[in-house]
Structure 1
């Protein structure tokens, strides 16, 4: 099964193609957010350089977040268009799941982190059970201080991962028995996203193109401003 995966949830823009046995190609840029400009060009390039067309792809995987609101919408719209045009299935996978999967088979708790601004982070806690990634918590938006308290309560070895980890390293170091992933693993990678998505697609699990949506966890700035002006959520009648 050939899968094309797209991640645009963070500063990274990443595209990969995998089959049942190999990573056939991957392009990752981790410099500034230009997803709307480069994403389709990256997809075209990786298809060309692997001697494929979009018709050769059996399924699509996209990051559903949390992460950059604009980036998530760009990735989701791009993959929805490809899936609809080819009539092939698509599945959305959390960017936190994919980042944790970069540390496959690492012992202890895995703690991927994205900066959620104002000293808050997007995170979830994971561990590997044999060959399977197990999520131990909900997807969370909490302060770094709250995360430190949560991890201290777990009383287990912790490995932090993500480009944004170093913004909070001083506080995270207060967690006993913690490690930090190397720089080459900290970027969100479409290949990790694709491998997790392929597992679902092979099991016949896919998303509905009409109802699938990004996982934001918190309101956007525009939604917060609407609530401040109107005294109610944008989703209320």
Structure 2
């Protein structure tokens, strides 16, 4: 039996689940449009442990969403996960954020393109087939009318995530479908982290860093007039 705490903070959704053998037995999440991770993440973890009567010695691993996503959100999630790993003396598992997002949707055929919002018309995106196999690498890309044409010309393509919303007016292909209200969650992380746990696919707690995909840009502070 494996009990894993899953932490997802790559987007505005602050999400924590506890899973037993890949099945979620408790979950708490808040997706209110604000980045409230710093205030809610640790209380969510403690509340779940208390409600499920789970003590630290019963936890087998800590899993965290590795990115890409919000720089601040990823830092908060990874810091919390590392802290638990050191405190509980447990291994760290990382789960690709876009893979987790892709798993929120079930299709019979075609492709799933999970998208996370970046700046302006830029998104973080990858391509998965109907069995959730990644068939194109993760990219930070600017969307135009030709984006994903290789997939759209031959198959139905389902776009999901907060990055897909701003692409609706650009990707007008007849094979383009947009599924609303999908976001990365610790719910989908449960099975993914369990698979990695069984393979002993773990990270070096001391040296693990989130997958930012591109450098964090600091906006200069405006001078007061």
Task: Give the whole-Å Cα distance in 2 for the aligned partners of 1:67 and 1:107.
Answer: 27
Aligned to 1:27: 28
| Structure 2 unaligned regions, length at least 5 | 221-225
- Give the 5 Å matches for 1:16-55: 16-20=17-21, 22-31=23-32, 32-55=34-57
Task: Give the whole-Å Cα distance in 2 for the aligned partners of 1:134 and 1:169.
Answer: 24
- 1:163 aligns to what SS in structure 2? coil
Question: C-alpha deviations, 1:136-167, integer Å up to 9, x for none?
Answer: 1111000111xx52421122111111133222
1:219 aligns with 2:215: yes
Task: Give the whole-Å Cα distance in 2 for the aligned partners of 1:17 and 1:92.
Answer: 15
Task: Give the whole-Å Cα distance in 2 for the aligned partners of 1:88 and 1:188.
Answer: 24
Question: C-alpha deviations, 1:103-144, integer Å up to 9, x for none?
Answer: 245421101111111210001000134xxx211111100011
Q: Is the 8 A contact 2:121 2:166 kept in 1?
A: no
Residues 105 and 57 (structure 1 numbering): CA distance in 2 closer, same or farther, change over 3 Å?
farther
Runs of 4+ residues deviating >3 angstroms: none
Selected match of 1:98 from 91, 100, 115? 100
Aligned to 1:4: 5
Q: Is the 8 A contact 1:60 1:79 kept in 2?
A: yes
Q: CA deviation at 1:54?
A: 2.9
Query: What RMSD over aligned residues (CA atoms) do the two structures have, in Å?
Result: 1.7
Question: C-alpha deviations, 1:177-199, integer Å up to 9, x for none?
Answer: 1222242xx02110212221110
Q: Is the 8 A contact 1:59 1:90 kept in 2?
A: yes
1:193 aligns with 2:189: yes
Q: TM-score, normalised by structure 1?
A: 0.86
Aligned to 2:177: 179
Q: Is the 8 A contact 1:30 1:187 kept in 2?
A: no
Aligned to 1:153: 150
Q: Is the 8 A contact 2:5 2:19 kept in 1?
A: yes
| Structure 1 unaligned regions, length at least 5 | 226-237
- 2:105 aligns to what SS in structure 1? coil
Residues 51 and 30 (structure 1 numbering): CA distance in 2 closer, same or farther, change over 3 Å?
same
Aligned length: 216
Aligned to 2:138: 139
Aligned to 1:109: 111
Q: CA deviation at 1:203?
A: 1.1
Residues 104 and 170 (structure 1 numbering): CA distance in 2 closer, same or farther, change over 3 Å?
same
